[in-house]
Structure 1
């Protein structure tokens, strides 16, 4: 599917209730972590970290941190990355979810409690930048600005979307995943009565998840469009860019873009 529609997602709207957004983010984190969605990109990210000499990741648009834990723990198994750390950031910070990840994985995971604009990352937040399951939220001009900011600050960046942009995935978003959400919600931590209420009594979290999940797939950039954005963001060709898809052994795909400074 090459079609990309710039529709809206409710979680992007400033007025959207924080309790509903948090419930949706918690579900996404649980699913991504349980399914180990981003394990196929671990070798790619290891290579990029080796090439840039980095021992720190700065995750942009982290949401509830769904893509983080499994990837960081897998990377830290490599001898040269045993001291790797990741700092979670977001324009809408999720400290309750992040504190859980930090406590479980200290010192591998920490977070920035203040809002961080992915299009203008504070210079103090140094490291290789990553963005999991969130790049599609940005329209082309903003997506290009995010990449340009990484180039401007000479910070490598990896963009990862846990889907391959297929009509089948939209069908799953309307059928299998809502059922899964109803089954797993009681097991999501940290425990929240509001999450249960807005899932089972007033089912706003599942309904908004269906809409946002569908729109997420329609808004995704395929590899060719990711490369085009990168080349516009880096007219001086200061970075090396690669884009593509990698597949799980059990079927699903991850779409990626990786950019790193060219060797001096």
Structure 2
């Protein structure tokens, strides 16, 4: 059922140029925590692990045929956690140690491998036991954060140069297609940021250059979505001492309790995100109106909403693949 409230493309404080960078980093860290935290009893799994399950269940035995490129990775977000859970799920052994490459191509550093015993075959001719690779990109690269993420897994690489999701570099997409891989684009808590013209441009470029894409949002345009944001703010108030100790950051406590900028921004931006979030039907309408060459009828659109935190937290997802 369509939401009673029409979509409104409002502003988020975290997007504003005047918002201090050190506070933005803490907001992004809090969002990553929301993606990767698993609270027993309340949650069967973290949202990031749920995304990994959705990718494997929808792509099935062809999952190893894809390279997953996060086009709005920010500081890393949930993608490193998705990579870990997905490769653990399919039982992939890690490849030989990787080395750093030039800044004009995806880069990676060496790191510990994931132990795994391959029990099943793969689809599309992918090598038996080959792990799935993930690439971090963004219009504003967070190279230091990505370097840390890639050091934890040889299956994560990154592009040091700016990457526009509406105009993906031909060498980025072509490199993997030249290896016989398909390209799957990820938009984690990102697609709601684009207004309609930009969203159409991104979808057009995606359809013309990629083989699949996924849109994953932790909020939705209804009352439950607004309540989830409030509960997230309460969770930040409760968890701030723990993370302030882990991060060795007294400023986290100051801007949570003395001047409560962090909980305010997280709840306010969460509400704005909910009001900006599109339904699957609205995304499909943009897809059909994007003007992509070759049309979009050959694409299969799947969508759903899965609970990541009982009773209100819902992961809203759209997965599109070429038929």
Q: Is residue 240–residue 259 contact of structure 1 (8 Å, CA) maintained in 2? A: yes
Q: Is the 8 A contact 2:219 2:228 kept in 1?
A: no
Match of 1:24 in 2: 27
Cα offset, 1:42, TM superposition: 3.1
Q: What residue number does 2:141 align with?
A: 93
Q: CA deviation at 1:247?
A: 1.4
- Partner of residue 14 from structure 2, selected from 11, 14, 17: 11
The DSSP-based 3-state class of the residue aligned with 1:124 is helix
Structure scoring higher RCO (CA < 8 A, sep ≥ 6) equals 1
8 Å CA contact 1:245–1:253 kept in 2: the answer is no
Q: How high is the TM-score relative to the length of structure 2?
A: 0.71
1:14, distance to aligned residue in structure 2 (A): 3.2
Q: C-alpha offsets along residues 69-121 of structure 1, whole Å, 9 cap, x if unaligned?
A: 33222221314474112111222333444344323x31122322333222222
Query: Is the aligned partner of 1:161 residue 2:217?
Result: yes
Structure 1 residue 13: Cα displacement: 2.5
Q: Report the secondary structure of 2:289's partner residue.
A: helix
Aligned-residue offset at 1:132 = 0.6
Question: Quick check: 1:239–1:259 contact (8 Å CA) kept in 2?
Answer: no
- Measure, in 2, the Cα distance between the counterparts of 1:119 and 1:192: 37
CA deviation profile, 1:233-255 (whole Å, cap 9, x unmatched)? 24712641314213137453222
Q: Bigger CA drift: 129-138 or 105-114? A: 105-114
Structure 2 residue ranges without an equivalent (≥5) = 39-45, 92-121, 123-128, 174-182
Of 264, 286, 295, which residue of structure 2 is paired with 1:207?
A: 264
Q: What residue number does 1:106 align with?
A: 153
Residues 179-226 of structure 1: per-residue CA shift (max 9 Å, x gap):
211232344465545544433443322222121111000100011101
SS in 2 for 1:61: coil
Task: Evaluate the alpha carbon distance shift between residue 68 and residue 125 of structure 1 in structure 2; reply closer, same or farther with a 3 A threshold.
Answer: same
Gaps of 5+ in 1: none
Name whichever of 22-31 and 110-119 sits farther off. Answer: 110-119
d(CA) in 2 for partners of 1:154, 1:50:
19
Q: Please provide the CA RMSD for this pair.
A: 2.6
Distance 1:196 1:219 in 2: 30
Written as runs of structure 1 = structure 2, the 5 A alignment for 1:1-264 is 1-2=3-4, 3-35=6-38, 36-46=46-56, 47-48=58-59, 50-51=61-62, 54-77=65-88, 78-79=90-91, 80=122, 82-103=130-151, 105-126=152-173, 127-174=183-230, 176-188=231-243, 191-192=248-249, 194-233=251-290, 234=292, 236-237=295-296, 239-248=298-307, 250-251=310-311, 252-262=313-323
SS, match of residue 248 in structure 1: strand
